[in-house]
Structure 1
Amino acid sequence: MDNQIGLYIHIPFCQSKCYYCDFASYANKNEQMASYVSALKEEINQYGILLQNHQINTIFIGGGTPTVLSPHLLRTILQSLFHNFNIKSEAEITIESNPGTLDLEKLQLLKECHVNRLSIGLQAYQNSFLKDLGRIHTVEEFVQNYYLARSLGFDNINIDLMFSLPNQTLRDWMDTLKNVALLNPEHISCYSLTIEEDTPFGQWEAEGRIKLNDAEADRAMYHYAGWYLNKMGYKQYEISNFSKAGFLSKHNLVYWTYKPYIGMGLGAHSFYNGERYHNTYNLDQYIKLSGSIAVLKEDAEKISLPMQYAEYIFLGLRLLEGISVEQFNHTFQVSFEKLFGKKIEKLVKLGLVENNKNIIKLTPKGLDVSNTVFAEFLPE
């Protein structure tokens, strides 16, 4: 039995909330940071007992902006993880950060506490766009933080970028990609801006105050990223992710290959023993419940077999290497051909997937309409 599992730790604090963000995160709640970490530490203790027979192969600390926490609170969390879990010596341990929240003391602490992968949210290489997004940092601060991390020996850095921003041209996007690729990070993620209703951007779009790129401009930016980053030595291995050889995000692969993971912290999601659930989204309640995993848990749902098939397929199809029919049959002890043969034939005819020696993958055309392809596998 595979006893490996991934951990996700959610830190819901930010210096200020970006205009597009609808994650469970808060600005100006600094006075609750210590009590939050105290509750999180207790949740870590409880999961440590539950998962004592598991090995941890990836940890991802996300947010929010985890690096807004003080060095003392960051150390508390990281030490607590190592104290309570059986973490493999080669485990990938990632922390998300924003430029302007990293300094020498914090980076040294992260290094000491075995964080070996930094994910830095840059988004754009023009200060005007950063301001328009509600980011708190400048490009100059990003470059400074990046070189500081390099000087301390961080040799696995991801940079998050966003395209299809209001008023962004293809030339602006090309400029962002070029400048970032020249820094030579190990991994680059490129996400198309999506507008969520309950955000300032959602409101401004409804009021006609911001104009978004049309689908054609969005796809032109996406295709350019694929072409250019490949030319610069990055292999696209997932819809939005590009990496140097050997630097794929092991934690995200846990999600895409349908492996179990436990989420700790406010609103964090888990997938464990065929069940999906999440923690409360209410910050005061999370703190009050002091990490009691039985009562933090909400919307627990046993995933039906047809839904497991569908999730396995559409998560796996996010990866450019696709899914193996043989692996699917082995995992579920059923016949992929019997269940989905006709659907695959139809998608192949439409030019959206290819079936090569029983490896099913999206075509370039399929990548552009991936959600339409995924919907084909949902239980009827």
Structure 2
Amino acid sequence: MKAAYIHIPFCEHICYYCDFNKFLLNGQPVDEYIDMLLKEMKMKISNAPKTELSTIFVGGGTPTALNEGQLQKLLEGIRAILPYNGEGEFTFEANPGETSEEKLKLLFDYGVNRLSFGVQSFNDRLLEKIGRSHRVKDVFSTLNKAQKVGFENISIDLMFGLPTQTIEDFQETLNIAMSLQLPHYSSYSLIIEPKTIFYHLMNKGKLPLPTEEVEADMYQLLMMEMDKHGLNQYEISNFALPGYESQHNLIYWNNEEYFGFGAGAHGYENGIRVANYGAVKKYINMLKDHALPILEQHVETKSEKMEEEMFLGLRKNEGVSISHFREKFHEDIIKLFASSIQEMERRGLLERHGDFIRLTREGRFLGNEVFEAFLLE
């Protein structure tokens, strides 16, 4: 186990597209939640005495929605309980405009060394349309504060395929994003998920989305702009200067194991996929009763592990290592997936490059279709 994901499910506002496990902050038992979150960490770590973590990622929700006292309690607990020596990657998600200089200094003082800001767009009209509470000026202000405190490893998220968004809108957002000269950018197309505000609007015919062709043009533009500015596309949606790739996310894409702490958190522990209860009160009450808040566990079969090795590994631009696959599963990837590989190569979506099988540039546009081809019967 090399990594830990910690979930803070509280937000000051709910974005229209978000389907993560989250709750409006007001009226929530936040202090009690933090107590039980730290208790869950202690319980799991006591059962894994030889564990050493190389990455910690605190996500949400909005982790920085916590007040300074709550944030300090969480940070103190993380550093006291988790077997992390402070030399790896320690990431916090944050929202522009909701993160004070005092909170940023607190994060920095407790060893957080990477920040991921949910910017989404540099267009105030679009930010309002997707339910974001910040505006463009807040992004500049928050980034200035973070850099003043001492943060260098900063990433921002951008979205495309938004309602009424044009290719010109996205070009403007990319121009501004590139002017910031940050070491890491993530950019995702909008996916309409059930139980979101956008899902209900779409069902009523009230969500004017760009066409698939325009969305593909936006993705093409994204890749061109990132490449032009020296940012390496190391995964379908992620771009970085050399040495600034997200080490935590690479653990997911390399299909390695990790702890999941918090309400609704998922983990992969000792070959078992684990999901916690999402409801905050259920999560708290189970831990009060000294029980781990596990909703479901799934022991993975060898076939499932091999499928996931392909789904996840093909997200990376380097692809899946043939030799590593053989070493890990004692199977020949070329024989095991012969028909799928041949078909995807014939269509120009997959290629072999030395020891790796990887998506072609064209394949990145149809990634999900390629991944499905590697489902074993």
Indicate the TM-score class for this superposition, using the shorter chain for normalisation. over 0.9
* Percentage identity across paired residues of the two chains: 37
RMSD value, Cα: 1.3
Preserved contact between residue 41 and residue 291 of structure 1 (Cα < 8 Å): no
Aligned-partner SS, 2:362: helix
Aligned to 1:123: 120
Q: State the shift of 1:337 in Å.
A: 2.5
Matching residue within 334, 340, 344 for 1:343: 340
- Quote the Cα distance in structure 1 between the aligned partners of 2:173 and 2:265: 31
Aligned-partner SS, 2:233: strand
Q: Which runs of 5+ in 2 are unaligned?
A: none
1:45-84 aligned at under 5 Å gives the runs 45-84=42-81
Matching residue within 28, 33, 36 for 2:30: 33
1:236-315 aligned at under 5 Å gives the runs 236-290=233-287, 294-315=291-312
Aligned-partner SS, 1:225: helix
Q: Are 2:137 and 1:137 aligned?
A: no
Structure 1 letter corresponding to 2:53: I
- Quote the Cα distance in structure 2 between the aligned partners of 1:188 and 1:31: 32
Instruction: Note the alpha carbon deviations across 1:147-181, whole angstroms, 9 max, x for none.
Output: 11011110000000110101000011010011011
Q: State the shift of 1:292 in Å.
A: 6.6
Aligned to 2:111: 114
Aligned-partner SS, 2:88: strand
- Quote the Cα distance in structure 2 between the aligned partners of 1:353 and 1:23: 31
Aligned to 1:87: 84
Aligned-partner SS, 1:364: coil
Structure 2 letter corresponding to 1:355: R
Structure 1 residues 366, 375: closer, same or farther in 2, change over 3 A?
same
Q: State the shift of 1:145 in Å.
A: 0.5
- Quote the Cα distance in structure 1 between the aligned partners of 2:56 and 2:90: 5
Preserved contact between residue 12 and residue 64 of structure 1 (Cα < 8 Å): yes
Find runs of 4+ consecutive structure 1 residues off by over 3 angstroms.
28-31, 291-295
Aligned to 2:353: 356
Structure 2 letter corresponding to 1:329: R
- Quote the Cα distance in structure 2 between the aligned partners of 1:31 and 1:302: 33
Matching residue within 206, 209, 212 for 1:209: 206
Structure 2 letter corresponding to 1:158: S
Q: State the shift of 1:185 in Å.
A: 1.2
Further displaced range: 142-151 or 47-56: 47-56
- Quote the Cα distance in structure 1 between the aligned partners of 2:288 and 2:128: 37
Q: Which runs of 5+ in 1 are unaligned?
A: none
Aligned to 2:229: 232
Aligned to 1:153: 150
Further displaced range: 340-349 or 33-42: 340-349
Q: State the shift of 1:216 in Å.
A: 0.4
Aligned-partner SS, 2:297: strand
Aligned length, in residue pairs: 377
- Quote the Cα distance in structure 2 between the aligned partners of 1:226 and 1:240: 9
Q: Are 2:168 and 1:171 aligned?
A: yes
- Quote the Cα distance in structure 1 between the aligned partners of 2:376 and 2:112: 40
Q: TM-score, normalised by structure 2?
A: 0.97
Q: TM-score, normalised by structure 1?
A: 0.97
- Quote the Cα distance in structure 1 between the aligned partners of 2:353 and 2:263: 43
Instruction: Note the alpha carbon deviations across 1:316-344, whole angstroms, 9 max, x for none.
Output: 00000111101100011222222112321
- Quote the Cα distance in structure 2 between the aligned partners of 1:191 and 1:356: 26
Structure 2 letter corresponding to 1:66: P
Matching residue within 15, 20, 23 for 1:18: 15
